[in-house]
Amino acid sequence: MCTVTYIPTASGFYLTSNRDEQSTRPTISPQKYTLKDQELIYPKDKKAGGSWIAVNNSGRAACLLNGAFEKHHPNGNYSKSRGLILIESFSFPSIKNFSENVSLKNIEPFTMLLIQFSLTSVHEFYELCWDGKNKFTTKISLNTPRIWSSVTLYDQEIINRRKQMFDVWLNKNFATEDKMIDDFHKSKHGLNASEGILMKGDGNLMTLSISQINLKHKQLRFNYHDLIQNRIESQKIKMHDIPKESS
């Protein structure tokens, strides 16, 4: 939930997220859940009950980063976890409907990435930022690789440095594959321990896991690498090809 990359491919995309959190915070590995007759797969934060990345069997994916445009000071009295908002987004009929109608009063600032896709292509990609007062929705290019870093952990100088490093890596690895992207997400890339993609901050703060939604050759998978337990899981998601979501 603190470093996310999106890499489009000829047959789909990779959406990969590093969860940087206190190592003492318990997590439930990815499981299947049912919400309004749809099947979702996501890892769960055991404390708050929400998640930072999820996908359903109808062609929608969502990923969360803490913070919006700049580091904020938590008030400690929010009505619910941002991770629960991510799960609730799947109960709305469309990405547009969710971004326009979700109530975020007394919700901590966040950035949410929302993708609508079919078995053959990506149709829509939006970034929804909530700064604690206002919502900002931006349409994201479907064909351009991107990296996001949480503003709650990294200042703008470090975010820019990470982006430059990501661009260099892409130029060297233009034919990306699963293992290459996994390797990218579990390396410091020459940065300081607290700034690397695989990070280790003060105390128990560190990268705990890497989650990835992968659409490739009409197959959808959820890959999960538990770095603490050194355990790798992969689940295939059965879905039907669907028409482009109407706005």
Q: pLDDT tens across 115-149, in order?
A: 999 998 899 999 999 999 999 999 999 999 999 99
Cβ–Cβ under 8 Å, residues 41 and 62: no
Q: Is the pLDDT of residue 46 over 60?
A: yes
> DSSP code of 200?
B
Domain ranges (residues) in the chain = 3-154+203-237
Give pLDDT, residue 214: 95
Please tell me the pTM assigned to this model: 0.94
Q: Is the pLDDT of residue 245 over 60?
A: no
Predicted confidence (pLDDT) per residue in 93-113, tens digit: 999 999 999 999 999 999 999
Give pLDDT, residue 243: 47
Predicted confidence (pLDDT) per residue in 75-98, tens digit: 878 999 999 999 999 999 999 999
In whole numbers, what is the pLDDT of the chain averaged over residues? 91
Give the least confident one: 32-46, 93-107, 227-241: 227-241
Give pLDDT, residue 86: 98
Confidence of residue 1 (pLDDT cuts 50, 70, 90): low
| Residues 6+ positions from 156 with CB-CB distance below 8 Å | none
Q: How far apart are CA 180 and CA 155, in angstroms?
A: 27
Give pLDDT, residue 188: 84
Cβ–Cβ under 8 Å, residues 71 and 55: no
Cβ–Cβ under 8 Å, residues 83 and 50: yes
Fold for 3-154+203-237, please state it: Penicillin V Acylase; Chain A (3.60.60)
Q: How far apart are CA 8 and CA 94, in angstroms?
A: 22
Q: How far apart are CA 85 and CA 83, in angstroms?
A: 5
Q: Is the pLDDT of residue 247 over 50?
A: no
